[in-house]
Amino acid sequence: MKAISLLAAASVASAHTIFVQLDAGGKTYPVSHAIRTPTYDGPITDVSSNDLACNGGPNPTTPSSEIITVTAGSTVKAVWRHTLTSGPNNVMDASHKGPTLAYLKKVDNALTDKGVGGGWFKIQEQGYSNGQWGTSTVITNGGLHYIDIPACVPDGDYLLRAEMIALHGASSNAGAQLYMECAQIKIVGGGNTLPAKTYSIPGIYKASDPGILVNIYSMSPSSTYVIPGPPKFQCGVSEGVGSGSGTTPQQPADTTTFVTSTTAAAAAPTPKPTCTASQWAQCGGSGFSGCTNCAAGLTCKVQNQYYSQCS
């Protein structure tokens, strides 16, 4: 019995994960470069805690003095690992299934802003479709979490919050395990549009949200999963419409309004007609809503029904 308990404890520990690196502009930056990483890979389970913004509390994070330059309209990759020294075969326990999400917050100084409070907007989400979870896609990709940076957002400092939610224990209150870290980035080559509505962290989730309090073991491949949080922001798309396939994301009551740039008061900017995915980026698959066109010289090749990539 003692041996079984030890094995169970080891399995739980191996399920934890950390957003350890950012790949941007074709370069994978070193571990913890421009990311406030913790040494412990534990989750946040209290969705009302300030630690939900950029981690901390039970998982103390270390400040970073770097900022990574990211081009608007490009695809970056959040690299997830079980620990700061793990490899691509040790990302997160496969039993810990749930959605992946990403948020941006425009800030005056990415080095000093704590992330707590308003100003956040969602830019990526993958929930559940035909039996496939967002976390499973990241594990299959060797820990790579693809995030499209909106082409229309203004230049400046931002916090990029990447998140994975494990729902294996989410049938009980505070059973969902939320993993997140914040990368410090500077967006260049952008436009002049921020979402009319932004959201507060904490505040984007409630403990009773159907995407947070859910029994995933009662779900079938055809079941609908409600991705938690606000709708995903998309350039040129009317806000208030959720982007999750077959889902209606929650609408948090706690919102903040950003004022769009006064230089474009007369007319909204023209969004890019198409976006392109870089080499090895995802370009298709069941439930995928990102770029489906590959960069010049690349072809979108089907790996399986859930995942296609540019090569």
272 pLDDT tier (thresholds 50, 70, 90):
very low
User: What is the pLDDT at residue 296?
Assistant: 78
User: What is the pLDDT at residue 300?
Assistant: 83
| Residue of higher predicted confidence among 309 and 115 | 115
Q: What is the pLDDT of residues 79-124, one digit of tens each?
A: 999 999 999 999 999 999 999 999 999 999 999 999 999 999 999 9
149 pLDDT tier (thresholds 50, 70, 90):
very high
User: What is the pLDDT at residue 239?
Assistant: 61
User: What is the pLDDT at residue 139?
Assistant: 97
Res. 264: pLDDT tops 50: no
**Contact (CB, 8 A) for 135 and 92:** yes
Transcribe 28-50 into DSSP letters. Answer: EPPTTTTB--BSS---B--TTSG
**67 CB-near residues (< 8 Å, 6+ apart):** 34, 110, 111, 157, 184, 185, 186
Rg (CA), the chain: 18
Res. 14: pLDDT tops 70: no
285 pLDDT tier (thresholds 50, 70, 90):
confident
Q: What is the pLDDT of residues 194-222, one digit of tens each?
A: 999 999 999 999 999 999 999 999 999 99
| Residue of higher predicted confidence among 90 and 244 | 90
| Residue of higher predicted confidence among 189 and 272 | 189
Buried b (16+ CB within 10 A) or exposed e, 177-197: bbbbbbbbbebeebbbbbbeb
Tokens in use for 222?
Answer: 């055809």
Buried b (16+ CB within 10 A) or exposed e, 83-105: beebeeebbbbeebbbbbbbbbb
Q: Distance between CA atoms of 166 and 145, rounded to whole angstroms? A: 15
Q: Which helix (H) or strand (E) holds 80?
A: strand 75-81
**208 CB-near residues (< 8 Å, 6+ apart):** none
Tokens in use for 223?
Answer: 């079941």
Tokens in use for 252?
Answer: 């948090």
273 pLDDT tier (thresholds 50, 70, 90):
very low
Among the ranges given (24-28, 36-40, 299-303), the one the predictor scored with the smallest mean pLDDT? 299-303
266 pLDDT tier (thresholds 50, 70, 90):
very low
Res. 47: pLDDT tops 70: yes
13 pLDDT tier (thresholds 50, 70, 90):
very low
Q: Give the whole-number percent of the chain exceeding pLDDT 90.
A: 70
301 pLDDT tier (thresholds 50, 70, 90):
confident
140 pLDDT tier (thresholds 50, 70, 90):
very high
Tokens in use for 85?
Answer: 């020294």
